[in-house]
Structures are given as C-alpha cells and as structure tokens.
Amino acid sequence: MRALLVVNPKATTTSERSRDVLVRALRSEVDLTVEYTLRRGHAMTLARTAADSGVDVVVTLGGDGTVNEAVNGLLTADAADDAQAGSPAHRLPALAVVPGGSTNVFARALGLPGDWADATSVILDGLRDGRHRLVGLGRADDRYFTFCAGMGLDAAVVRAVEQARLRGRTSTPALYVRATIGQFFGGDDRKNPPLSVERPGEETESGLGTVIVQNTAPWTYVGDRAVNPNPDASFDLGLDVLALRQLGVSSTTRTVTQLARRTGTPHGRQVLRLHDQAEMTVAATRPQPFHLDGDYLGERQKVHFVSVPEALRVVC
C-alpha cells in the first residue's frame, strides 16, 4: 500500500520528535512518502499529484486548513474527473487525518481522539483492517469544505483571528472571544444586515447578519466543549444552516447564551435554522467576509452551496 504523508510544519500541537514518531509508525504499515507544505495551497497540490500517481492513502498532519486543502486536491484530481458515473470516492485515495492543529474539528467529528498519538493508533488499526467510511462534503462554488462555511460576522471573526496569528498571537478560545466582540461592535452590518439565503422553490430569507453552513456537527469546539447550533447536521445528510436575522445586542446575547448550554440549540424570532438542504445560494447586497473550514478566503457577494453525498473515503 502506497501512502503520502502531508505535514504542515507549522502545526501547533506537534513537534519534530512527534513527527518522526508518526513517520516511523506509518512506515511500519505502508510504503510512505513524506512531503512538507511550504506555503498556503501547497497541500492541495501535493494531494492532487498523489491521487493522479495512484497513491492509496493520503495522510495529513496539521489542522483543519491542511485537511481542507488535501480534500480539495483529491476531489480535483484527474481520477475524480474520470469518475463520471456516481461518486469518485472509490477511485480516489482514502484520507487519513492526524490532528495537529489547535481545534481539529473534522478529525473530532469523525470520532478520532484529539491527541495525535492516539489518533495515529486508530489510523494504523484502520489501515491494517481496511476500515473506511464514506462521508459527504459541502461545496461552495468550486471549492469543497468538510465541516462548515460562513459569511458575515462568523467569517469576519475568522479573518480577525488570522490577522492576530500573523502578528504572533496564539489561537486560543480567549482570542476568538475578543475577536467576536470586536467584530460585533465594530461592524456596520448590525443595523443593515446584508445577507440572504435563496433556495429552489422557497421564499428568499433576507435581512441576515451572518450565515453559518454546516456539513456535520459540531460547528466548532471551545477547548474540549463542542458548540452545536445544528446538532442534527451529519456527514450522511445535506447541509444545515444557522443564520441570524438581526444582530441586535439582546437577541445576539440570547443566541450566544443558548449556544453555551450543552443541550441548548438557538431559537427565537431572529434565528433561522434549516436542516438537510441539498443546495442554496447565500447572496449579499455588498461584499462580505467568507471562510471555509476556518480558513478566511476573502470577500464574496454570492456563493452557491451544494451538498455532495459520499464524496470521500476516510480511514476510521
């Protein structure tokens, strides 16, 4: 079995020693090639090349951004384009995810342990036994995402955190809280929400201040605690949506309080929730921040979202 290990050397929860241990462990089971990412987007190129060369498994060591790039590399490979009949998942390499970032939402949503060493043990067992799981993905225009996407306030927070990390700050729950407060009170969209959700055959939902699209649950984690605005979201179903119609102080505080409860889900007049959607378009009256899987991708004014069932094989 041939495998490629894609390593993000900036992964926050691993060290050179732990990477060496991982490489030795994988080489005990597979014919392994190791590549280090050198820039943003490099993991996509590496995964695409691996798929086209007939590699059996692509393993990522990094955070959710590294996983997202690898997934997009796999799903845009020639092998995926050749699979015209049905899902390309069985024609493409399987994906194995070793958590190495600060949050690792996709890996944890798959049920993998948060610790890289424990997750590696599970992956090795899966490789030995040939255990795979088919998961659905979301697609935003021409790019895939594994667990969530966002436009508006949600993406503005991601942008602010990325900017802080470029200045040397560490990604922590406190940093996200400060970024959320800063974007909430510093933005212009609270009084004139610019977003709308358009669905085939349904009335347009307009006047939205932020839109979160989930491909699975949870949406994210704060430390070890899952944040679950749409707990019924699943890799086996369509897309779920949480949107806020107005970003008033009282209504937004109430929504945040509901999210903080372990068993609570957001509800109320200002909350829009949609479940198991095959497709939708999020449009804005002016360009809005946009992210996929926690990676900020600039501003967009319209994004078409589609659920892609059974798009990817993952080692479990």
pLDDT beneath 50, residues of the chain: 83-85
pLDDT of 18 reads 86
**pLDDT at res. 85:** 47
- pLDDT of 7: 96
Paired sense of beta strands 239-244 and 271-277, if any: antiparallel
Start-to-end CA distance of the chain, whole Å, equals: 17
Task: Please state the pTM of the whole predicted model.
Answer: 0.90
pLDDT of residue 83: 47
Whole-number Å distance between alpha carbons of 45 and 77: 9
Left if phi > 0, otherwise alpha if psi is -120 to 50, otherwise beta: which for 207?
left
Please give the pLDDT value at position 134.
97
The dihedral over CA atoms of 77, 36, 164, 177, expressed in degrees to the nearest 10, equals 70
